[in-house]
Chain A
Amino acid sequence: DAKTTQPPSMDCAEGRAANLPCNHSTISGNEYVYWYRQIHSQGPQYIIHGLKNNETNEMASLIITEDRKSSTLILPHATLRDTAVYYCIVSEPYNQGGKLIFGQGTELSVKP
């Protein structure tokens, strides 16, 4: 079973920031938080991952709470092309290796 809880759907206005929450209250010390997104019928696209510190790349920012029990993915200026299902996954790569466990994700709809 997935170790994360995400809202099933969210809406965001084009040009505004999209903030996608994820709860992972049972996360262990060596587990990373990964975010992927999947545009309809395509393969999942890697977005970002982090362990403890906040992370930023060209696609998004990842904010992890100090107790690591939740995180937020931020798309700073959402566009219509950001409409997708967003998956939050916790994984300990050196023990779990390639086994990413996907939940149901959050379906983000960006509206004009």
Chain B
Amino acid sequence: DAGVTQSPTHLIKTRGQQVTLRCSPKSGHDTVSWYQQALGQGPQFIFQYYEEEERQRGNFPDRFSGHQFPNYSSELNVNALLLGDSALYLCASSPSWADTQYFGPGTRLTVL
């Protein structure tokens, strides 16, 4: 049984560009949450998707947006990239919105 998968593994972008990160949840999971982890810090909650809707959102600007597809996979989009957006982006899935979350390996984004 595959766990949470994320793509790509690494990504390099320049300031002002846009990026899309992808996440496939564990089999049987219908909820996806996204986190940003800056170097040396704990992960910070960005938002959660359930039933294709953004259910909760953390303290992130509107440049961060997402989507969930009918097969429960999800995308995280970041517009107008800043140097400070360089981080490990983590996706977590859970069997429902209130259940234990299981994390993927992350996507390392570097903004130059």
Chain A positions near chain B (C-beta within 8 angstroms): 2, 34, 36, 41-46, 49, 87, 93-94, 96-105
Q: Is the interface of B mostly helix, strand, loop or mixed?
A: strand
1/0 per residue B3-24: CB within 8 Å of A?
Answer: 0100000000000000000000
Inter-chain CB contacts under 8 Å: number: 66
Tell me if A43 and B106 are in contact (CB < 8 A): yes
Q: Give the number of residues in B that approach A within 8 Å (Cβ atoms).
A: 29
**In the complex, what's the smallest C-beta–C-beta distance from A110 to chain B, in angstroms?**
21
* 7 pairs from A and B in contact (CB 8 Å cutoff): A42-B106, A97-B97, A98-B101, A99-B33, A99-B45, A100-B33, A100-B45
Which residue of B4, B42, B97, B106 contacts A103 across the interface (Cβ within 8 Å)? B42
Q: Are B88 and A41 in contact (CB under 8 A)?
A: yes
B98 interface contact, C-beta 8 A: yes
* Partner of A93 from B41, B99, B106 at Cβ < 8 Å: B99
Contact in complex: B48, A98 (CB < 8 Å) = yes
Determine the residue in chain A with the shortest Cβ distance to B3: A43
How far is A102 from B42 in the complex, measured between Cα atoms in Å? 5
Q: Quick check: is B72 within 8 A (CB to CB) of the other chain? A: no
Given the interface pairs A87-B42, A100-B45, A105-B42, the reply to whether A46 lies near B97 with Cβ below 8 Å is no
Interface SS of chain A:
loop
Chain B: residues with CB nearer than 8 A to chain A? 4, 31, 33, 35, 41-45, 48, 50, 55-56, 58, 88, 90, 92, 94, 97-106, 108
B3 to chain A, nearest CB (A): 9
B56 touching A97, Cβ below 8 Å:
yes
Q: Is the CB of A42 within 8 A of B105?
A: yes
A41-B108, A98-B31, A98-B97 given; 5 more Cβ-contact pairs under 8 Å: A46-B102, A93-B98, A97-B56, A98-B56, A99-B56
Contacts of B43 in A (CB 8 A): 44, 100, 102
